[in-house]
Amino acid sequence: MRFEILMNILAMAVVTFVTRFASIGLLGDVPAGLGRFLKHVPIAILTALIAPALFAPNGYIALTFSNHYLLAGIVTALVAYNRQPPIVTMGAGMTMILVLRMM
Amino acid sequence: MQEKDFCKGVGDTIPLIVGMIPFGLAYGILGKSIGLTSGETIAMSILVFAGSAQFICLPMLMEGAGLAMVSFTTLLINLRHLLMGASLAPYMSGLSMPFKALLSFGMADETYAVTIQRAQAGCYTGAYQLGSNAICYLLWVMSTIGGVILGDYISDPLSWGLDFAMPATFLALLIPRLRDKASVIVCLVATVVSVGSAILIPGKWYIIIACLVAAMAGGLMGGKQDAI
């Protein structure tokens, strides 16, 4: 283990922990106005993490049939919308992307 | 009771391994192929436990980008944790500070999504969150080790379509939540803003920008449509 690499890893660990602990450790009861905003954070985060990967996988918007991520995403979303358990939803999505890749 | 909640947290998180294991394997393979030792690659998963930051910083480490640059990039990618933590904080207010710190360490995208769902349904306990964190952490470290060991024998699993595993995981968590008007609007705003800013702004700013704008849009819509 090289000293310089280890220092970098430790710095990443500290910074990451600080971002995780800052709100949880410092915030107690949240005012109602902020609470109304925070209630929407889960959906906002989940969407922001995946939308660019589906709609613009190569850095530009691709609403075409050659965009496998979007097609598989639509199939996955439809399965999830029918209240299937997560494992079924993910299985359907993964099957779809593999089939598209093979075609 | 605590044990039951812990096991429930483990059980609710296990389906998400479909999305996590390919990334842990891929990270382990990439770490080795880019020139880190096995120990360094695994140490990063043990100490940092943040997939996207680990992937993005790997090449920076080998290029000698420097401590400041690596730290700033990690900070930027993980800024979303501030918002995730803030939305979990009210449910955790009764816990002791050391327990809060322990649970904070394990707050990843997956464990957050599982835990906040439980919390918003009115059933949050620290034991549940600990169960979710523990299984996720264990699988992340184990799959990293798997990637490091298998790296010489298998090709990058993300190249055979497993890079879709993460979007599939988050869609499975997201779509069932879109049951009222406010949630659908938040999702649409987050989609437009994240795609737009991902294209226009370099780096990972799009995550935090889209999250802030969309959550604000949801907050401004007021309370009456929010009932689930």
Q: Flag whether pLDDT at B161 surpasses 70.
A: no
Nearest to A23 among B19, B61, B89 (CB): B89
- Look at B78 and A20 and tell me if their CB atoms are within 8 Å: yes
Structure tokens at A14: 């500290």
Task: Please state, in angstroms and as integers, the Cα–Cα distance from residue B186 to each residue in B69, B183, B205, B211, following that order.
Answer: 33, 5, 18, 9
User: Whole-angstrom Cα distance, residue A48 to residue B69?
Assistant: 24
Mutate which of B72, B87, B212 to disrupt the A interface (most A C-beta within 10 Å)?
Answer: B87
Q: Which class for B202: exposed (0-12), middle (13-18), buried (19 or more C-beta within 10 A)?
A: exposed
- Does this model's pTM top 0.95? no
Average pLDDT (B198-224) is 86
CB-based contact (8 Å) between A77 and chain B? yes
Question: Nearest C-alpha of chain B: how many angstroms from A30?
Answer: 6
Q: Which residues of B touch A34 (CB under 8 A)?
A: 86
More confident site: B58 or A77: A77
Residue of A nearest to B49 (CA): A13
Tokens found for residue A58: 């190569």
Q: How far is CA B30 from CA B37, B74, B134, in A?
A: 11, 18, 24
Quick one: pLDDT at residue B225? 44
Q: How would residue B18 be classed by pLDDT, with cut points 50, 70 and 90?
A: confident
Span B102-140, pLDDT tens digits: 999 999 999 999 999 999 999 999 999 999 999 999 999
Q: Is the pLDDT score of B100 beyond 50?
A: yes
Q: What is the pLDDT of residue B223?
A: 56
Q: What is the pLDDT of residue B224?
A: 47
Contact B177 A86 (CB under 8 A): no
Model ipTM value: 0.88
| B164-205 per-position pLDDT tens digit | 888 888 898 899 889 899 999 999 999 999 999 999 998 788
